[in-house]
Amino acid sequence: MENSNDNICLPLPVTISNWFTTYKQREDYLVNFLKNILPSSDVKDIDEELRKLFPLTKRKGKVTNKPEKSSLMAMRKCIRLYLNQTKTYIQYKQMVPLNSLWLGYMHHMLGIKNFTSLPMNFTHSHWESINHRLIKADFHGAIITIVKSKCPSTIGIEGIIIQDTKNTFKVLGKDNVIRVIPKASCIFRIHLEHNVYFDVFGKELCIRPTERSVKKFKNFQIPDL
Amino acid sequence: MKKPSAINEKLCQGKDVFERMNYLYQASLFVSSQNISLASYYSSILSGCAKKAVLRIEHNVKRSICKVCESPLIPGKTAKVRLMAKKQKIIKTICYVCKTIKRIPIKKKHTLWFDQPESLIEIFDYNLKTETNNFKTCNSRDSIEIKCYSYNWQN
Ligand SMILES: [Zn+2]
């Protein structure tokens, strides 16, 4: 047993180690071989040709450190993430003025002095143009309730829209809790005045808020819910 | 015969986007006293709208938004304003949120193109009888651009 243990620590006999080749040896062998075979005019180019890299070679070229992505974006992301953490710091009472600001904006947007003069039926002459304007409007600060939904637990939630993403609304309820509601499976009722409201299929709002102001909408869409 | 408002709307391209941007700016100023991250979110949508619709933000509005974190810069509340006079006279604003410094150089006889009287060609009035809301058309180089000019937000 002792003998075998000693054998492990000993260097390998020369006869065996000759069998092994290292990377450098193989490279030298290749260069020598090429120098012998190629005509004398091409010998100069051997070094250059070997240095070239091919798409599937195992050896990689020098990895240059890419400059880090602009710190501006990282900064913005940090602040955006902050929004999810500070849930309890927004209070419903403080956000009520935002809704009155939004109502003033909607007056300008629709070009109407009173919301009661909005068209009620599709037979009205302004029906289409007002629909077009409504869907391009901004919904931050609107008071909404959910009328119908595929998910029964979300029905009846009421609150002010705080954030508007592609597939969700973030709604601040009267109990100062922010809820995330998926748009696609809901019908929203957006309140304008005391008794004036309009119902919207959530599926038609599934656009990023910045893209909404530019996108062109089809006149007729078949709602599926 | 067309109504005057209908004609105006054709002339002022992107009126609805301007109104939206106006609202978002007011909203972000309002919210900044409560939640700064929400305020920066609103003004980032403002700049996103301007990018998408290829419209320019009015320069005073643009200068009052931090270029890094996009939160509104209100002197005393979210920003520190200092005057510097080494080599060049500079207005220096420091954002409290991200500590970025914004420097705007001043020259004595230099006024911005938008502030010069000859840049103004026509004013459209979109009043709803009680409120004021002005849109100004400006001629800059060879293209005609329209800028949103109204800001009547009360604290
Ligand atoms: Zn900043």
Which of B68, B132, B134 should be substituted to probe chain A, the one whose Cβ sees the most A Cβ atoms within 10 Å? B68
Give CA torsion, residues B68, B74, B79, B83, to 10 deg: 110
pLDDT at A70 over 50: yes
CB A161 within 8 A of CB A146: no
Does the distance separating the beta carbons of A102 and B23 come in below 8 Å?
A: yes
pLDDT at position A133 = 78
Distance from C-alpha of A45 to C-alpha of A32, rounded to nearest angstrom: 13
Distance from C-alpha of A195 to C-alpha of B75, rounded to nearest angstrom: 41
Reported as a single tens digit per residue, the pLDDT across A113-154 is: 666 666 666 666 677 777 777 778 888 888 888 888 888 888
Query: Over chain B (155 residues), what is each successive 10-residue block's mean pLDDT?
Result: 47 75 87 82 86 84 84 87 88 85 86 76 59 42 38 38
Cβ contacts of B67 on chain A, cutoff 8 Å: 72
Q: Extract the tokens encoding A174.
A: 């009267």
- Give the DSSP H or E segment for A198: strand A197-201
pLDDT at position B81 = 92
Nearest CB partner across the interface for B35, out of A72, A90, A102: A90
Compare A21 and B28 and report the one with higher pLDDT: B28
Cβ atoms within 10 Å of A92's Cβ, excluding its own: 14
Between the CA of A67 and the centroid of ligand 1 the distance, in Å, is: 22
Distance from C-alpha of A184 to C-alpha of A168, rounded to nearest angstrom: 8
Q: What does pTM read for this prediction? A: 0.69
Confidence band (pLDDT; 50, 70, 90) for A75? low
Q: Of A17-21, A106-110, A147-151, B10-14, where does mean pLDDT reach its minimum?
A: B10-14
Between the CA of A172 and the centroid of ligand 1 the distance, in Å, is: 26
Q: Which domains does chain A have, with CATH numbers?
A: 90-212 (2.30.30.210)
Cβ contacts of A213 on chain B, cutoff 8 Å: 16-17, 20, 49, 52-53
Termini Cα distance of chain B:
42
φ, ψ of residue B7 in degrees (nearest 5)? -70, -45
Reported as a single tens digit per residue, the pLDDT across A152-194 is: 888 888 888 888 888 888 888 888 888 888 888 888 888 887 7
Nearest CB partner across the interface for A162, out of B5, B36, B38: B38
Average pLDDT value for residue range A56-60: 58
